[in-house]
Structure 1
Amino acid sequence: MQLKPFTAALPNASGLTKLTTGDQTWSAEDEQTQSGDSYYWYEITKNGVHQWRLIASWPVDQTVSTMIPAEINTVLYATQPVIEMLIDDWVGHFPKAFEFTDPANVTHRLWQITDDDVNADITEAMTNVTPRKTWLTTTSTKLVMLVADRDWAKFKEPVTAPDHLIKFLSD
């Protein structure tokens, strides 16, 4: 996969309050720019079930395999134990960027991977991963969320990310 880290804007305190309450009146004052290009680990929890996703930059001239066309498309890939082991190792070393529970009682947690060497390792580990080509969309996007097949199957109905979870700022 042609993935890259990227610079993002994330919700600040007022933005998290809006995401928690479902308030759709979003403005630039509800977000803060993160320093440097990073990957982001994203955990969604509903009814005690967890799903992990990697948020990365994706070449805009590519369409992706996805269930639901959205600002951040979801790409499924075959479970690979080496990647899962690396995810377990990486996430524990970085503080959470934020955590909130939305009105649908879904908890969202996001970690920013700020170390250049770790980001390089993620890029290298994901390069040889082939996404599953099951659902196609013509939506081309700068951001993609990658989910292992097994993790995707944990929820009977897909759980989506809020519209203002993360905003792409890199060129």
Structure 2
Amino acid sequence: MDLKPFAASLPTTSGLEKLKSNTPDWQASDAKPVTAPSYYWYELTKDGVHQWRLIASWPAGKTVTTVIPSTINTVLYSQQPVIEMLIDDWVGHFPKAFELTDDHGVTHRLWQITDADVTADITETLAPIEPRKTWLTTISTPLVMLVADQEWAKFKAPVEVPDHLIEFLNA
């Protein structure tokens, strides 16, 4: 997969409060730019079940058919032990960008991976992995979330990602 780290806009304290309560009046002051090129590990938890995702930058113009609606498009791939190892080895070494529990009882945790050596390692590790192409988007998007098949199957119904959780910056 041709993925890269990216600059993002993340919610501020006021933005997190709005995401928690599903308040729709999003303002510019509810987000802040993070210009360091980063990958993001994203953990969702509902009813004690955890799912891990990797948020990455996706090449412009890359499209195929999809059956998964999502604010940030979701790419499924076959279970890859090396990616699971990356999660286990690296998540605890980076600060949590934020944590919130939304009004549906879903806890969202996001870790920002900024270290150049680590982001290079993630890029290299993901390069030879082929996604399940029938699960990609028909609309070109700058961001995708990678989820392993077995991780995706953990929830009986897909858990929604709040609007404004993370946004791509043209840096």
Shared fold (TM-score greater than 0.5)? yes
Who is 1:159 aligned against? 159
Change (3 A) 1:64 1:57: farther
Return 5+ residue gaps in structure 2 as ranges: none
Who is 1:61 aligned against? 61
Matched residue of 1:63: which SS?
coil
Q: Distance in 1 between matches of 2:157 and 2:44?
A: 13
Deviations 1:39-80 (A, max 9, x none): 000000000000000000001211156443344100000011
The number of residue pairs the alignment matches comes to 171
Pairs within 5 Å for 1:9-158: 9-64=9-64, 66-158=66-158
Contact 1:66 1:76 in 2 (8 A): no
Question: Which letter maps to 2:165?
Answer: L
Contact 2:73 2:136 in 1 (8 A): no
Matched residue of 1:111: which SS?
strand
RMSD: 1.3
Judge which range, 41-50 or 28-37, deviates more: 28-37
Q: Percent identity?
A: 68
Q: Distance in 2 between matches of 1:31 and 1:136?
A: 27
> TM-score w.r.t. structure 1 length?
0.95
Q: Distance in 2 between matches of 1:137 and 1:97?
A: 27
Aligned-pair CA distance for 1:89: 0.4
**Where does structure 1 differ by over 6 angstroms across 4 or more consecutive aligned residues?**
none
Change (3 A) 1:151 1:64: farther
Change (3 A) 1:46 1:65: farther
Aligned-pair CA distance for 1:86: 1.4
Return 5+ residue gaps in structure 1 as ranges: none
